[in-house]
Chain A
């Protein structure tokens, strides 16, 4: 089963994403901060990590760097999940070795799922 890890501090957003992804049959994991995100990623080696860039303990960019440092996660899909303007998101993604970004807030579930699945297909 495809496993997706969401690292996101907002409980409301996490719940929305959980509902959307589990309804599509994905195995869903959630971490509310960077340290637990790193731990869950190491333990479960998810197929895709959705990464909020603003986290309460360390920034998402710093976590992206840690994740890329773990040999088992070197090629894991990391997708920034951010409300930042497109150009900033693009630059951050490029600079921090992410595979792309999905904009927040999630307004259309179908569109969000299509974006997630497009990243999974690209792997």
Chain B
């Protein structure tokens, strides 16, 4: 296929339904190491959870209407997020990705969001280079971790573990968690269904909380905070209680920062690293993000 940047037409993603968007997105990922395909329902949940604005997202087409790629824009009060960027393999290296990215950055600026976040899968060099070229800089590495329900169950650490209902859980998760990647910000938890939490106090008065989403077959979207004591020990206590409560559920948690003080607890619980992403930012982060007060 021969294309010039002038022959790329960008249409608003809101002109397509979820089935069509999922189909385009899946086509862009067929040759990825981690393709992460989605059906329409999964994509709709993604859009709603992460505040993706389809009206401000784009599908790239040829003038004849052939689909080339897709990219989506998430919008929150003072920041934007670029996600689901993909170009159909047979049409790559013709500027579609750059055209989509420039359009999203311009749209974010028009809407008053000068600060833009994104994540790129580690070792996806073409995308990484494109983002650097467009002014993004690296912030750190993020881990995607999984834990199988086939693991032997650990006895819960003796602790006073109290269940937190949704509202209490969201209040805790809504402040003082430091800078989080978009997917783990408080808004994501607030948008997600079936969120609740655990508050644990250990015998030595170490204490902390875990907020999580329980889906039909999966535990996900963890936010952990240690209020007192050793973070790994507190997190291990919380995780042993959680997995004892839901022994048959698979677990996937995304975008855990490599310097997360609770990381050791995940290792003790048998979590394995699925893959890594690199977090990248463009512009100066707003104060709300630095303080971890996203709501």
Contact = CB atoms under 8 A, between A and B. Distances in A.
B272 A65 contact: no
Contacts of B147: 95
Given A84-B33, A97-B150, A59 B252 contact: yes
A110 B275 CA distance: 30
A31 B272 CA distance: 27
A25 to B, nearest CB: 29
A46 interface: no
Contact of B148 (A9, A12, A54, A65): A65
A66 B149 CA distance: 10
A95 B33 CA distance: 19
A8 B35 CA distance: 12
A41 interface: no
B39 A33 contact: yes
Interface string B139-157: 0000000111111000000
B218 interface: yes
B274 A92 contact: yes
A85 interface: yes
Nearest to A91: B272
A97 B148 contact: yes
A121 B8 CA distance: 52
A57 interface: yes
Interface string A54-91: 11111101101110110000000000000111001001
Interface in A15-72: 33, 54-59, 61-62, 64-66, 68-69
Contacts of B258: none
Interface residues of A, number: 26
B41 interface: yes
Given A56-B22, A84-B33, A62 B42 contact: no
Interface string B28-39: 001011111111
Given A10-B30, A65-B250, A88-B273, A95 B37 contact: no
Interface in B243-279: 248, 250, 252, 270, 272-275
B57 interface: no
Contact of B41 (A57, A59, A68, A69): A57
A84 B273 CA distance: 12
A47 to B, nearest CB: 21
A3 B30 CA distance: 27
Contacts of A85: 33
A55 B217 contact: no
Given A57-B41, A88-B274, A91-B272, A96 B148 contact: yes
B217 A54 contact: no
Given A61-B250, A88-B273, A92-B274, A9 B33 contact: no
B183 interface: no
Contact of B37 (A9, A12, A83, A92): A9
B26 interface: yes
Contact of B42 (A12, A57, A61, A91): A57
13 contacts: A9-B37, A54-B34, A58-B218, A61-B250, A65-B149, A65-B217, A65-B250, A83-B33, A83-B35, A84-B34, A84-B275, A92-B146, A95-B148
Given A59-B250, A62-B218, A62-B250, 20 more contacts: A54-B36, A56-B38, A56-B42, A57-B41, A58-B217, A62-B217, A64-B148, A65-B217, A83-B33, A84-B33, A84-B34, A88-B273, A91-B272, A91-B273, A92-B146, A95-B146, A95-B147, A95-B150, A96-B148, A97-B150
